[in-house]
Structure 1
Amino acid sequence: MKFGGSSLASAERIREVAEIICSFPEHYPCIVLSAMGKTTNLLLQAGQEALRVAPGAVPSLAPLRTIRELHRRTAAELGMGSREDIESLLSEMQQLLVGISIMQELTARAQDSLVSFGERLSTRLFASYLRSQGVATRQHDAFSIGMTTTDDFQNADVLYAETLPALKAALARPPGAPRAIPIITGFLGRGINTGAITTLGRGGSDLTATVLGAALGVEEVQVWKDVDGVLTSDPRIVKEARPVPMLTFDEATELAFFGATVLHPSAMQPAMQVSSLDVRVKNSYNRKAAGTLISRDRDMTDVLMTSIVLKTDVTLMDIVSTRMLGQFGFLAQVFDVFRDNQISVDVVATSEISVSLTLDQSKIWERDLIEEEIQSLMSAFGDFAKVSCTHNVSIISLICNVAKTSSILERVFRVLGRESVNVKMMSQGASKTNISLIVADAEGRTVVQALHDEFF
């Protein structure tokens, strides 16, 4: 069972989560926790502010004070008073910030160490509370029990061959030993070569939970959020959005990659490797909601549209060969440019002499350098292609039953015609679950609402 930051935002929420865990007496769950509330954001803010102040001013930084007060107040409200393990971590965190201030440098490695304090604090606090309620627990830092990753700080990949057997061995209960619920840090791992703390990217606690599920051979991983499951669209855009009862792993992965924030994009990978593992999204604020069950397969007979996702602020790039038809190697040259610049693309449409594709600038570029970096990228195509860019476009991803494409697209284009919206690009190919439409940013929300009205 994994619980996110909003589920752990206060003493009241922690009591509720403890109650949820204890309401499954027939199971002995393994628990993965995120940092409390907005702690990760506060730690990132503290790191930036430490670069701008003298070392002596670090203890009084506002974000650091907020983190200290939150954890001390929560411990007191849970009836635990001052906790030596919490105070020790708070002191270590402050020392790291002082070091950042002295060095006037915040490396990716140091930032991963800094943000790790959120999960390390929340798991110790929660494990202590459960013990105070008579529930046997053991707190574990994931990086200490075998969660092994690449050394790509801030967005490391899990190394499954090393990780799965190590986690299984670390969490196995010796015969006759007393049972204790494992409380494990989400989001964190250890770099295979550096031995340093790494992080799995934003939302990486979901991935921690499914990795543990695969390692332990459990039947179900429950990801507890603050919504009633995966929804038919973003409720901030479509007020009538409602939970989707069932999804496949492929559908859930496409949803996550194209903007749905309920699950980490890589969280389905471990589940796909284990035939018997399902993932269920539940709401910690509304326990009685059925949630969304995500599994390997589902009956698609009556499924037309599953969910509609909007991804805004995207750049569309059109690349046209300057040579004649029949030029083999054109696509290879195009994608060599993206490989050399370490840029991935979202959506692609191709012909023999042209390629249209989208780039998510929020993932790739510094906000104040986007134009310069795009010009540099365009010049890399040299004399073998002409390149043009269109900024401020949106990807509308239709997670649907692609076997019924004709029926779906007939209705989609009827809606687009009614709304007087022109599609700049469309992609439907290798994915059997996703049709992507590119429209102007200014039209994106209107189109999503209109399509939701049509299909739901």
Structure 2
Amino acid sequence: MAYSLLVMKFGGTNMQDAQAIRHSAGLAARSIGAGVKVVVVVSAMAGVTNQLLRLADAAQSGDIAAANDEIAAMRTRHFTAAQDLGAAPDSETVREIRELHETLRQAIYGVYLLRELTPRSRDLIVAFGERLSAPLMTLALEGQGLRAHHLTGGQAGITTDAHFGNARPLPGTYERIRDRLGGLLGAGVTPVVAGFMGETEEGALTTLGRGGTDFSATIIGKALGADEVWAWKDVDGVMSADPRVVKDARNIEVLSYGEVMELAYFGAKVLHPLAVTPLRESGIPLRVKSAADPDFPGTLVQEAAHNEVGHPVKAVTAIRRVSLINVTGAGVLGVPEVVASLFDAIARENITLLMVSQSSSMSNVSLAVQSADAGRTLAALRRTVTGELNIEEQPGVAVLAIVGAGMRGQKGVAARLFGALAQDDVNILMISQGSSELNISVAIEDAQVESATRAVHAAFHLGEPAAAAD
């Protein structure tokens, strides 16, 4: 296929040092050299986002020395990469990196003085990773003889609501992006956009949630009417299971938007769960490609399901470190507003529910949440419900899910799943199946999740290639 415009997203491992950045720039340059217009969207260097979160927490707790040590180490890493990419000590790139680190130091000192880390402050701090990597990618592209210009997400036109930490684009975003990036592309300049971030209409910096660089890329892809969005990864594409757990996991050639959203939601760390939403609205395909093997087609994500003969299930995935929150008692019995109040309390705290189960008698409601959110969930529910209800946490849980459009109307899929788990001596704590029949998910003990994943992968023969359905 001949392309005219591509959006290319590069993840943290493809931005981790000068060598990786130069290689990533080379991948973009291949397409630009073939006459394709390219918008590059970059993540922070590998590990930097977590480093920024650590130093923010250190400042909040009063350990400014530890925070300053982290900033110094980060400054050295970015200066080294810039130098290795050919930047002179007095170059504009080095000056910009120095200024960004000074601004970061001031933001961290403000947190230290107040001993307060608000969601807005956290977004400002954590976005420095992408703001620092974008100039490095621009430098690498210029080193390959290309004209490039880097922008923050807000400068590129991504305008969001004020939901700091998990912001969503506003309707006017797409027109702004066309205006701001269209001019650069028309002038033969490659835009390099710092992913993961946008800004409110008042100019406050926001982030789109962890993994949000994928989301940035697809928002831009929709705005510009790209032929495809390419997400460059360190794997061959979307796999049938985590290859670190299942040795015979294989690349999936084609997934539907619905399937990839289910996989992302249930723990597959390949894409942001909302990444395909802008593309789904405009029918633009997404391709997950391997930076190590750029000629391999990877995984194509499109609207239509691509069912494989003998493979009703495409993949098995899991979310670890989950807690079940069990609400029991006669007070739940036959009182719909009690259940409504539970969900309302969780929504106010912006807690994501992974699974929900309710007994037919309505005397028990079980909610699966990330263990990191369990404390907030318990507190929110206990503030809401009456004393006659009992609320308990059951930690040490994982949610395992099988995903595939071929499950729709297919008999025996659930039986095969439960049979594989029973044969592996896995105890099922909770079961959920969506009406779309795209997934079946089960809660199991976290200690059993890797063994269970291998058993289910084998039971559905996911390690074996399958023919496409007619």
Confirm or deny a common fold (TM above 0.5): yes
Partners of 2:167 and 2:413 in 1: CA distance:
38
- Superposed, 1:369-448 pairs within 5 Å as 370=375, 374=378, 377=381, 380-382=384-386, 389-400=393-404, 401-448=406-453
Alignment match, 1:36: 45
* Displacement after TM superposition at 1:244 (Å): 1.1
One-letter amino acid of the counterpart of residue 223, structure 2: A
Partners of 1:411 and 1:77 in 2: CA distance:
54
Indicate how the Cα distance of structure 1 residues 382 and 100 shifts in structure 2: closer, same or farther if over 3 A, else same. Answer: closer
* Displacement after TM superposition at 1:312 (Å): 2.2
- Superposed, 1:142-221 pairs within 5 Å as 142-159=153-170, 161-173=171-183, 178-192=187-201, 194-221=202-229
Can you list the C-alpha shifts for 1:243-285, whole angstroms capped at 9, x where unaligned? 111111111111111111111111111111112x011111112
One-letter amino acid of the counterpart of residue 124, structure 1: P
Alignment match, 2:4: none
* Displacement after TM superposition at 1:361 (Å): 3.1
Report whether the alignment pairs 1:121 with 2:132: yes
The DSSP-based 3-state class of the residue aligned with 1:214 is helix
Indicate how the Cα distance of structure 1 residues 26 and 364 shifts in structure 2: closer, same or farther if over 3 A, else same. Answer: same
Report whether the alignment pairs 1:90 with 2:101: yes
Alignment match, 1:72: 79
Alignment match, 2:120: 109
One-letter amino acid of the counterpart of residue 180, structure 2: A
The DSSP-based 3-state class of the residue aligned with 1:416 is helix
Ranges in structure 2 where 5+ consecutive residues have no aligned partner? 1-7, 463-470
Partners of 1:263 and 1:36 in 2: CA distance:
17
The DSSP-based 3-state class of the residue aligned with 2:127 is helix
For the 8 Å contact 1:228–1:282, the answer to whether it is kept is yes
Which of 296, 303, 316 aligns to 1:308? It is: 316
For the 8 Å contact 1:356–1:425, the answer to whether it is kept is no
Partners of 2:432 and 2:458 in 1: CA distance:
22
Which of 369, 372, 380 aligns to 1:360? It is: 369
Q: Would you say how many aligned residue pairs link Structure 1 and Structure 2?
A: 445
Q: Provide the TM-score with structure 1 as the length reference.
A: 0.89
Partners of 1:166 and 1:306 in 2: CA distance:
38
* Displacement after TM superposition at 1:48 (Å): 3.0
* Displacement after TM superposition at 1:304 (Å): 1.1
Can you list the C-alpha shifts for 1:156-210, whole angstroms capped at 9, x where unaligned? 1222x121111111112389x6311111110111023x42111111110000000
Give the alignment's Cα RMSD to 1 decimal: 2.7
For the 8 Å contact 1:337–1:381, the answer to whether it is kept is no
Which of 226, 234, 256 aligns to 1:226? It is: 234
Indicate how the Cα distance of structure 1 residues 404 and 103 shifts in structure 2: closer, same or farther if over 3 A, else same. Answer: same
Q: Which moved more, 1:124-133 or 1:328-337?
A: 328-337
For the 8 Å contact 2:157–2:177, the answer to whether it is kept is yes
The DSSP-based 3-state class of the residue aligned with 1:427 is strand
Indicate how the Cα distance of structure 1 residues 79 and 452 shifts in structure 2: closer, same or farther if over 3 A, else same. Answer: same
Q: Which moved more, 1:418-427 or 1:206-215?
A: 418-427
Partners of 2:60 and 2:24 in 1: CA distance:
36
